[in-house]
Amino acid sequence: MKPPSLGDFTGPKRGSGLVPGDMYHLGGDEVNTACYESTPDVAAWLKAQDPPLDGNGGYEYFVKKAHTIARSKGRDTVGWEEIWNHFGTDLPLSTIIHQVSSTAASTFSTAAYPAFPTAARACSTAADNLSQWLPGSTIGINATR
């Protein structure tokens, strides 16, 4: 059995492939770009680029390339707030920001980027208000605080 290809993963159009949803979450958080420069094969690739790239340049290349591939397959791209912190308005306007902090939300929403909060934030908010939905419940404590 042959391993799946990128085409198998993405499928030829929205709603197809191994991941058939319309959104691809491309991550982008907690990247230690120093590892790019300390891994021999990756460091050689960075140096071979024109112009040569450092670890941050490699990160930028990856994020932009991943977004380009996902968009070419008709997918909406989602990335953690860290990509916003790194790229700002250099990101394609169609990028959906997966919001982590409340402080950055005003900057990407002012720039007209779509966003949604982390599930943990949404769940903790729901848990805070659960006692309103279930009278007599004491399950309203936010464990994330």
Bridge partners, 77 (sequence order): 24
Q: Of 30, 37, 60, 81, which one is the catalytic site residue?
A: 30
Say how many Å lie between the first and final Cα of the chain, rounded. Answer: 48
Residue 81 CB-half CA count within 13 A:
15
81 is catalytic: no
CA distances from 128 to 105, 125, 131 (A): 21, 5, 7
Joined tokens for residue 121: 């934030």
Exposed / middle / buried, residue 107 (Cβ in 10 Å: 0-12, 13-18, 19+): middle
Bridge partners, 98 (sequence order): 80, 116
Active site residues: 30
